[in-house]
């Protein structure tokens, strides 16, 4: 059976995503070739938006799971629940995607418990199977199933690395913050703000990103710039918007916040 792509989906059905390279083509090829995909990049740079855009373009359901340190394999595969005195099996999001076809996106996969990688492995090689020990089933993934995982190489500690044996099962793409022109367009499209103010926010982020690694754990993300533009569009004054959307989310340290204010004042 061949996979049919929706050639031109209605524009309003597809979440806006501004491509900055050949990532859309790569994703479509990975989907058609039934290969799993790993997206690497800092938080707030567009990975999740990219996946929802691609799922809509391909016309397949998307099951997104934000991984955290309590997330177990059973949260993904499913579990028996007691309903009205009876025990019934409830599929988890991964199982649902495998049964019905669709993209399963595991955001920040390194956060999840170790047993999660055990269920992912047989889905990421050419068997493409999901064994469900508890129901005794072995599900064969249909052509329309795709596994996508993301992680942020920036804030990995040594205990939370993706093991080479796991990462080598995926195609991988690196995401960074969009180039200044693209980021300006993204902020304008997302919020309706004018080009001048969008470009100012991008320059501010550029200055702050130069500081990152030295004083800050994380740089100002595209997401924060979108938040800032949203406040400005709602009539909040510039200094308050920048404080609430950029300075305060990035640091609690008074000296670092003063440094950020300076880096921003240079641009204004
Ligand atoms: P991540 O998953 O990398 O943490 P998101 O995909 O949630 O980040 O992106 C955060 C926000 O940034 C999005 O909601 C969107 O407003 C904006 N954004 C970032 N990059 C893009 C892009 N290339 N096209 C459209 N929107 C983008």
Ligand 1 pocket residue status of 45, Cβ below 6 Å: yes
- pTM confidence score: 0.91
Structure-model confidence comparison of residues 142 and 256, the more confident one = 142
What was the pLDDT predicted at 38?
A: 96
Query: Over the chain, what is the mean pLDDT?
Result: 90
Confidence of residue 10 (pLDDT cuts 50, 70, 90): low
Do strands 86-91 and 78-83 pair parallel, antiparallel, or not at all (unpaired)?
antiparallel
C-beta of residue 175 within 8 angstroms of C-beta of residue 17? no
Ligand 1 pocket residue status of 151, Cβ below 6 Å: no
Pick from 138-152, 157-171, 175-189: least confident: 157-171
Integer Rg of the chain from CA: 21
Three-class DSSP category at 102: strand
Residue 213 has pLDDT above 70, yes or no: no
**For tokens 């990688």, what's the residue?**
117
Q: Name the residue of 21, 44, 184, 245 to mutate for ligand 1: max ligand atoms within 8 A of Cβ.
A: 44
Buried b (16+ CB within 10 A) or exposed e, 1-29: eebeeeeeeeeeebeebbebeebeeebee
Residues 139-162 pLDDT 10s? 999 999 999 999 888 765 555 677
- Closest to 26 in 3D by CA, of 17, 38, 44, 43: 38
CA distances to 18, 135, 181 from 86, in Å: 49, 15, 58
What was the pLDDT predicted at 161?
A: 73
Ligand 1 pocket residue status of 226, Cβ below 6 Å: yes
Residues 95-114 pLDDT 10s? 999 999 999 999 999 888 88
Q: How far is CA 48 from the centre of its chain?
A: 3
Residue 7 has pLDDT above 50, yes or no: no
Q: Which two tokens stand for residue 102?
A: 């669709």
Do strands 37-40 and 145-151 pair parallel, antiparallel, or not at all (unpaired)?
parallel
Q: Is the ipTM of this structure higher than 0.95?
A: yes
Q: Measured between alpha carbons, how far is 249 from 31 in angstroms, rounded to an integer? A: 36
CA distances to 44, 47, 232 from 41, in Å: 9, 8, 27
Ligand 1 centroid to 228 CA: how many Å?
Answer: 14
Q: Measured between alpha carbons, how far is 103 from 89 in angstroms, rounded to an integer? A: 22
Q: Which two tokens stand for residue 245?
A: 């959307």
């Amino acid at each position: 059976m061949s996979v049919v792509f929706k050639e031109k989906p209605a524009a309003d059905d597809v979440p806006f995503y501004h491509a900055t390279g050949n990532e859309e083509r790569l994703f479509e090829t990975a989907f058609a070739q039934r290969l799993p995909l790993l997206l690497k990049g800092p938080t707030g740079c567009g990975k999740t938006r990219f996946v929802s855009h691609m799922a809509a373009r391909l016309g397949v359901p998307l099951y997104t799971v934000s991984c955290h340190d309590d997330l177990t394999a059973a949260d993904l595969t499913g579990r028996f629940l007691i309903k009205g005195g009876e025990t019934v099996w409830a599929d988890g999001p991964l199982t649902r995607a495998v049964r019905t076809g669709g993209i399963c996106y595991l955001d920040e996969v390194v956060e999840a418990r170790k047993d999660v990688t055990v269920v992912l492995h047989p889905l990421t090689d050419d068997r493409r199977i999901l064994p469900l020990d508890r129901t005794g089933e072995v599900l064969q993934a249909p052509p329309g199933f795709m596994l996508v995982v993301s992680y942020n190489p920036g804030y990995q500690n040594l205990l939370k690395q993706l093991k080479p044996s796991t990462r080598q099962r995926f195609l991988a793409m690196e995401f960074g913050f969009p180039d200044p022109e693209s980021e300006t367009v993204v902020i304008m499209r997302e919020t309706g703000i004018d080009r001048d103010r969008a470009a100012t926010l991008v320059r501010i982020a550029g200055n702050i990103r130069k500081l990152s690694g030295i004083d800050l754990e994380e740089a100002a993300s595209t997401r924060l710039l979108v938040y800032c533009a949203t406040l400005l569009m709602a009539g909040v004054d510039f200094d308050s918007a920048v404080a609430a959307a950029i300075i305060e989310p990035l640091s609690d340290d008074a000296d670092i916040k003063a440094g950020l204010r300076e880096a921003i004042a240079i641009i204004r």
